[in-house]
Amino acid sequence: MPAPPHRAAFGARVRELRVGQGWSQEDFAHRAKLDRTYVSGIERGVRNPTLDIIHRLAETLGVPAAELLIEHP
């Protein structure tokens, strides 16, 4: 079953910002105190992160949480 479009867009935005920092998934997961497989699931849109996790991701990336919800072409 494909990921819902809104989760796929969220995951793509997280990936874009992570790559922009020059971090591997493992580096990012370690910084965010999350498991790498969980980060992978978020980026693929198969995980549905809670508000607390969204906040943690944003804080780790150094952006407001709202920035993770903006779709970029």
This prediction has a pTM of 0.93
More confidently predicted of 3 and 53: 53
Res. 73 pLDDT band, cuts 50 70 90: low
CA–CA dist 62, 3 (Å, integer): 26
CA–CA dist 66, 2 (Å, integer): 24
Q: Alpha-carbon Rg of the chain, whole angstroms? A: 11
Other beta carbons within 10 angstroms of residue 63's beta carbon come to 15
Do 3 and 62 meet the contact criterion of CB atoms below 8 Å apart? no
Q: Any idea which fold 5-63 has? A: 434 Repressor (Amino-terminal Domain) (1.10.260)
pLDDT at site 72: 66
pLDDT digits (tens, 9 = 90+) for 5-58: 999 999 999 999 999 999 999 999 999 999 999 999 999 999 999 999 999 999
8-state DSSP, 4: P
